[in-house]
Structure 1
Amino acid sequence: METTKGAELCFPKLLNNSCRKPTPSQSETMLTNILLSFISLLTAALNLLVIISISHFRQLHTPTNLLIVSLAVSDFLVGLLLMPVDILLTETCWFLGDLMCALCYVTDFIITSSSVGNMVLISIDRYFAICDPLHYTTRVTLGRTKVCVCLCWICSILYNSVILKDFLRHPDSHNSCYGECVVVLNQITGAFDFVFTFVAPITVIIVLYMRVFVVAVSQAQAMRSHIAAVTRQSSVCVTAKKSEMKAAKTLGVLVIVFLICFCPYYSPSLVGQNIEESSSSSTIRGWLMYFNSCVNPVIYALFYPWFRKSIKLTVTLKILQHDSCDAKIL
């Protein structure tokens, strides 16, 4: 009887302290792992295509696309690192030790918050491009954009190191048994993280998006009022209107998808509960948040013709040809 009981433990030699292994059906576990592994692989592959496309073709080396690359890097790391680790966490037994547990969760928080920061930078870039196009090229330069991207990642590292400092000191403080990997944000830390990682970025993005939308609508009205004045001017306005509305629509879709994916994760903070992540409570909320990283490149493919063209050139290996980096993409 003790042997059977010991076989159900993560660490059979530690009868009193070991966590118990989960007992789901093997077929259910296999199907779940296959599905999650496919999502992980798809997320990494799609974002890698974004990174390769923008990095390879010189015509795509713009401040806006640099921000998209930064977002794609964080999303790529979600698919390459965070999703596979989360699959391991769903098995309940954690065999990699407390140090690796701490590193995994800190990396998770850093990558996720940097992804949010990149979305804010993209919305700011689009705001200046559409609402102040005359000064855009002087205000938003490639050098300044690189500095902003670096600051985004540095601030993410520093911020998450601070809010997780107690967890880094004692990674096993919330473990109920040996073989568990748990991180818990108390109400104060959770509320602070909720404001700075969710509420503040979303407020900035929505405010900027609404401003972009108002400008796009006002320019559309101006176009209609002057359509009979100068035919050439009206055609320019039509082009401007289409470009602005397209940018507004793209940003709007990104915001809506971001809200859908991130709101469930932060829902405990909305009702005053602790945000807890553990091997024993593998969560659909966490995977829904990760899924945002898979959806972002799909949105680019739907709204940006250059991305579809660059994917075709990449998949067919035409990027290996001489001078392919100078190909006309736009």
Structure 2
Amino acid sequence: MELQEGVELCFPQLLNTSCRKPMQPRAETVFLNILLSSISLLTVSLNLLVIISISHFRQLHTPTNLLLLSLAVSDFLVGLLLMPVQILLIGGCWFLGTFICGLFYYASFILTSASVGNMVLISVDRYVAICDPLCYPTKVTLTKVKICVCLCWACSVLYNGLILNDFLKHPDRYNSCYGECVVVIDFITGAVDVTLTFVGPIAVIIVLYMRVFVVAVSQVRAMRSHIAAVTLQGSVSVTARTSERKAARTLGVVVLVFLICFCPYFYPSLAGQDMSTSVAFSIFGVWLLYCNSCLNPIIYAFFYPWFRKSIKLTVTLKILQPDSCDVNIL
């Protein structure tokens, strides 16, 4: 068997069973590697700052921020584990073996499901805070949120272990040649997965935020109509409600960006198996999904003054000073 001139193999020593390496302009490959590596580094750095900030400063130990911490952990792992490996896949060849192939897809599915679960929990948190503010301190406590976060991650691990069970046992089952890392899920399993990890959660998120929006608008109108009769005590209450609405608006932006980044990734599954997509579109969908992990902390920095202040204290190493965890960060 003779090879066509100019064809490169992933494993030249395996002439009959090696995958062919796609021909790509060297300048384009170098540019993509630099760009995506920068995104990976930025994702890791920004989310690490979120993790340090919420973990270190006691004032930030709130139920809502605990949910943001869980989301930041999943985003941090995306930048640290998934992005670097995905950069290798752009070259067209898989050199890390079948075990790492299975582990990579398993981790990818877990982090995607955990991110969706965290978004649902954040939406529920904002719904209770805006629509039932008097009962919020009793309904949403740190202990309850910790349990919900642990259940979110545990369910993600178990659920994806079930749908990838056959693949994890034989990671190379669907590889047509050496140098491939492919996962294939049957139509029924794929339909159930899309429903449980995308369509269902997105429907819940949209309904909750529509309800939050309606209640927030009604509260604004009520405050405007009674603004002349507001007492000092009422002013404190108004300020508190205003703070809650600002948090809801910020997290609403987070959810909107989440939808924009996740929809292209799930589009082929929603369209059906007969709707084949190009390799370029597939890579675009994966990286747009990954970029969501980088955009979340940027949104925090833009909307949350406490995050900007905590970044300054962290970068200047003032968090190493005694009792720095009790600094007024809000």
TM-score (norm 2): 0.93
SS in 1 for 2:118: helix
In structure 2, what residue type is equivalent to 1:171? P
Cα 1:320–1:15 change in 2 (3 A) is same
Please report how far the alpha carbon of residue 233 of structure 1 lies from its aligned counterpart in structure 2 after TM superposition: 5.9
Query: In the superposition, relative to structure 1, how do residues 92 and 277 fare at CA in structure 2: closer, same or farther (>3 Å)?
Result: farther
Aligned to 2:213: 213
Q: Could you say if the C-alpha distance between residues 276 and 322 of structure 1 is closer, same or farther in structure 2, counting changes exceeding 3 Å?
A: farther
After TM superposition, what 4+ stretches of structure 1 lie above 4 angstroms from structure 2?
1-7, 274-282
Q: Check conservation: 2:130, 2:245, Cα contact below 8 A.
A: no
Distance 1:320 1:61, change over 3 A: same
Structure 1: segments with no counterpart, 5+ residues: none
Computed over aligned residues only, the root mean square deviation of the Cα atoms, in angstroms, reads 2.3
Q: 2:109 maps to which residue?
A: 109
Deviation at residue 185 of structure 1 after TM alignment: 2.4
For the 8 Å contact 1:266–1:275, the answer to whether it is kept is no
Q: Distance in 2 between matches of 1:233 and 1:149?
A: 35
- Which residue of the partner structure matches residue 264 of structure 1? 264
Question: 1:40 matched to which residue of 2?
Answer: 40
Note closer, same or farther for the CA distance 1:63–1:248 as it changes in structure 2 (3 Å cut).
closer
SS of the equivalent of 1:94 reads coil
Q: Is the 8 A contact 1:6 1:15 kept in 2?
A: no
* Secondary structure of the structure 2 residue equivalent to 1:178: coil
Question: In structure 2, what is the equivalent of residue 175 of structure 1?
Answer: 175
* Paired AA for residue 145 in structure 2: T
Secondary structure of the 1:183 match is: coil
Question: For this pair of structures, how many residues does the alignment match?
Answer: 330
User: Matches of 1:321 and 1:240 in 2, distance apart?
Assistant: 31
What pairs with 1:1-330 in structure 2 (closer than 5 Å)?
Answer: 8-232=8-232, 235-236=235-236, 238-273=238-273, 283-330=283-330
User: Once structures 1 and 2 are overlaid, which stretch shifts more, 301-310 or 239-248?
Assistant: 239-248
1:298 is paired with a residue whose SS is helix
The 8 Å contact of residues 216 and 241 in structure 1, kept in 2 or not, is answered as no
Tell me if structure 2 keeps the 8 A contact 1:47–1:73.
Answer: yes
3-state DSSP class of the match of 2:53? Answer: helix
Give the distance between the partners of 2:220 and 2:295, measured in 1 at CA. Answer: 30
Answer yes or no: is the 8 Å Cα contact 1:67–1:122 preserved in 2: yes
The CA deviation at 1:98 is: 1.1
Is 95-104 or 219-228 further displaced after alignment? Answer: 219-228
Percent sequence identity over aligned pairs = 72
C-alpha distance in structure 1 between counterparts of 2:277 and 2:310, whole Å:
38
Instruction: Write the letter of the residue equivalent to 1:22.
Output: P
Q: Deviations over 1:114-151 (max 9, x none)?
A: 01111111111111122112111112111111111110
TM, length-normalised to structure 1: 0.93
Give the secondary-structure state (helix, strand or coil) at the position aligned to 1:133.
coil
Alpha-carbon deviation of 1:48? 0.1
Q: Is the 8 A contact 2:265 2:282 kept in 1?
A: no
Tell me by how many angstroms 1:290 deviates. Answer: 0.5
Deviation, 1:172, is 1.6
1:185-210 CA distances to partner (integer Å, 9 max, x unpaired)?
23222211111111111111111111
Distance 1:281 1:263 in 2: 12
Moved more, 308-317 or 212-221: 212-221
Q: Which moved more, 1:271-280 or 1:244-253?
A: 271-280
